[in-house]
């Protein structure tokens, strides 16, 4: 019986250690906004997230789009790729909703490329990379940036990252976001996708 508890304790300890390492990696990129003052960006990739039933971006998606708008303002030459398929509970594709949001914020439609097939982060990058031209910046949530950059590297593309600040009214969202991201990062490390 003691041996069983030792094995369980060692397993739990290993899981905690891996989680702490993943959390440290996630946090290492969560404030990356070095591209904010760049004026030589050619491509901005905005990773999709949730879409509300009214066909508008959910708060987390809107935060990503607002961060992309900041980069687009300083880089009028940049194309903006919006990437994301239609989820089972979404009325339209993430790409469609995000494109409409950008247009409503005075981004010309001819600057926007819609990629509406990607169902996860690895697919966002894999399906969008054919549009990358010159300096490319991936815009995603602060807690998601490390994994996005890791998967881009796995895909063989050179990109920079720009963290959209996540603003939540309820602190209980943070364990959900970061817990999901830790699991996603472990999955990416093990399977090279996600």
Question: How confident is the model over 147-172, as pLDDT tens digits?
Answer: 999 999 999 999 999 999 998 776 77
Structural domains of the chain, ranges and CATH numbers in brackets: 2-191 (3.40.50.620)
Q: Can you tell me the distance from the alpha carbon of 32 to that of 22, in angstroms, rounded to the nearest whole number?
A: 17
The predicted model gives 54-75 an average pLDDT of 97
Q: Which residues contact 135 (CB under 8 A, 6 or more apart)?
A: 38, 40, 41, 42, 43, 160
The predicted model gives 172-185 an average pLDDT of 85
Give the rounded distance of the alpha carbon of 162 from its chain centre: 9
Name the nearest CA neighbour of 62 among 87, 97, 33, 38.
97
Q: Can you tell me the distance from the alpha carbon of 99 to that of 91, in angstroms, rounded to the nearest whole number?
A: 15
Give the rounded distance of the alpha carbon of 193 from its chain centre: 13
pLDDT-based confidence at residue 111 (cuts at 50, 70, 90)? very high
The predicted model gives 29-55 an average pLDDT of 92
End-to-end Cα distance, the chain: 38
């Amino acid at each position: 019986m003691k041996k069983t508890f030792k094995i369980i304790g060692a397993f739990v300890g290993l899981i905690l250690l891996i989680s702490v390492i993943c959390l440290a990696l996630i946090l290492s990129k969560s404030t990356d906004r070095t591209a904010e003052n760049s004026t030589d960006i050619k491509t901005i990739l905005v990773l999709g997230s949730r879409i509300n039933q009214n066909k508008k971006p959910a708060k987390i998606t809107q935060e990503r789009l607002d961060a992309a708008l900041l980069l687009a303002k300083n880089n009028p030459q940049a194309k903006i790729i919006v990437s994301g398929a239609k989820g089972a509970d979404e009325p339209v594709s993430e790409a469609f909703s995000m494109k409409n949001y950008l247009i409503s914020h005075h981004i010309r439609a001819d600057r926007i490329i819609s990629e509406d097939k990607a169902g996860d982060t690895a697919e966002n990058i894999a399906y969008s990379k054919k549009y990358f031209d010159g300096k490319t910046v991936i815009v995603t949530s602060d807690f998601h940036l490390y994994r996005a950059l890791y998967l881009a590297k796995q895909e063989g593309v050179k990109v920079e990252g720009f963290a959209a600040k996540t603003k939540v009214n309820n602190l209980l969202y943070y364990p959900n976001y970061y817990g999901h991201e830790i699991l996603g990062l472990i999955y990416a490390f093990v399977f090279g996708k996600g």
